[in-house]
Amino acid sequence: MNDNGVAGLFQGVRLTPTQRRIAHSLVQHAASAAYLSAAEVADLARVSQPSVTRFAMALGYDGYPGLRRRLRELVGNGAPAPAEGDELQRALRAEADHLNRLADQLADRAVLAEAGSLLAGSRPLPVLGLRAAAPLAGYFAYFAAKVLPDVRVLDAGGSLLTDRLEQARAAGATALLAIVLPRYPREALDALGAARDAGMSVVAVTDSPVSPVVEYADLVLPAAVGAQLVFDLHTAPMALCMAVLQAICDAAPDEVQRRLEQFEQSVSRRQVFTN
Compute how many other C-beta atoms are within 10 angstroms of the C-beta atom of residue 53: 19
What string of pLDDT tens digits covers the 275 residues of the chain?
445 578 778 876 778 888 888 988 888 787 788 888 898 899 888 899 999 999 999 888 998 999 998 988 887 654 444 456 788 988 898 899 889 989 999 999 999 999 999 999 999 999 999 999 999 999 999 999 999 999 999 999 999 999 999 999 999 999 999 999 988 999 999 999 999 999 999 999 999 888 889 999 999 999 988 877 889 999 999 999 999 999 999 999 999 999 999 999 999 999 999 98
Q: What pLDDT does 76 receive?
A: 67
Distances from the Cα of 56 to the Cαs of 20, 105, 108, 124, in angstroms?
Answer: 12, 26, 30, 44
Q: Which amino acid is at 47?
A: V
- What pLDDT does 160 receive? 93
Q: Note the pLDDT of residue 4.
A: 55
Q: Give the global pTM.
A: 0.80
Q: Give the model's pLDDT for residue 46.
A: 87
What is the per-residue pLDDT for 52? 93
Please say whether the dihedral angle defined by the alpha carbons of residues 39, 42, 43 and 44, taken in this order, is positive or negative: positive
pLDDT at 44: 86
Closest CA to 188 of 112, 142, 101, 129: 129
Give the Cβ contact number of residue 142 at 10 Å: 11
Q: Longest Cα pair distance anywhere in the chain, in angstroms?
A: 70
CA distances from 104 to 2, 32, 48, 109, 223 (A): 11, 21, 34, 10, 11
CA–CA dist 179, 207 (Å, integer): 9
Phi, psi at residue 6, to the nearest 5°?
-60, -45
Position 84 scores a pLDDT of: 66
* Residues 81-119 as b or e (16 or more Cβ within 10 Å = b): eeeeeeeeeebeebbeebbebbeebbeeeeebebbbebb
Measured over the CA atoms of residue 210, residue 212, residue 214 and residue 217, the dihedral's sign is negative
Residue 211: name the closest of 229, 237, 230 by CA. 237
- In the sheet that holds 151-154, the strands lie side by side as 151-154, 125-129, 175-179, 201-206, 219-222
**Cα separation, 32 vs 16, whole angstroms:** 23
Check the CA dihedral 116-117-123-127 and report its sign: negative
pLDDT at 206: 96
